[in-house]
Amino acid sequence: MKELAALIAVITLAWPATSTATKVGARAPKFGLPALKGGKTVRLADFAGKVVVVDFWASWCKPCKKELPELSRLQKKYAKHGLAILAISVDEEPEAARRFTKKVDGELRWLWDKGGKKVASRYNPPKMPTSYFIDRKGVIRYVHRGFEKSDLPKIKAEIRRLLAQ
């Protein structure tokens, strides 16, 4: 019985805590990350006044491979209305992420967070992919976990709702 109690205590301490900083209604944590192409630092603050979708993904993530082309199409469609989608790779090495980006239209802003250590660790995405929808005032208004094609109507509706505000 003592072993079981000790095991539960270890699991509880090791389990990542849900960050209140990235819950709906909280201000989005600020960040700056290198672009996958060119290495220029891109900051969340660069998009002040826009609706921003911060999407965490990885080259090994199968749902990400379906989601990112769809996000690219949405970026192209809604950019003129004030949408900015930041696609943040949490791959350990940038080359895997760069290879993947060549398969998707270039409409997204491709960023790299080595192993998710700088920004993903602050946003704490529960799975890959996870998208944080941030309003024009910098507040997280919706969090979308995972991706299936059937999610697209909800994602589009959230983008249109935020752009209309």
Domains (ranges, CATH) in the chain?
26-164 (3.40.30.10)
- Name which of 121, 120, 122, 164 is nearest 141 in CA terms: 164
- Kindly report the number of other CB atoms within 10 A of residue 50's CB atom: 16
5/130 Cα distance (integer angstroms): 33
- Residues making up the chain, counted from first to last: 165
Per-residue pLDDT tens digits for 115-138: 999 999 999 999 999 999 999 999
- Kindly report the number of other CB atoms within 10 A of residue 54's CB atom: 27
- The owner of tokens 């409409």 is 107
Say if residues 2 and 80 touch (Cβ distance below 8 Å): no
pLDDT of residue 21 exceeding 50, the answer is: yes
Q: pTM score, two decimals?
A: 0.86
Say if residues 155 and 143 touch (Cβ distance below 8 Å): no
pLDDT of residue 2 exceeding 50, the answer is: no
Q: What is the pLDDT of residue 54?
A: 98
Task: Calculate mean pLDDT across residues 63-90.
Answer: 97
% of the chain with per-residue pLDDT over 70:
86
Q: How far from each other are the two terminal CA atoms of the chain, in whole angstroms? A: 56
Q: What is the pLDDT of residue 38?
A: 87
Q: For strand 51-57 and strand 41-43, is the pairing parallel, antiparallel, or unpaired?
A: unpaired
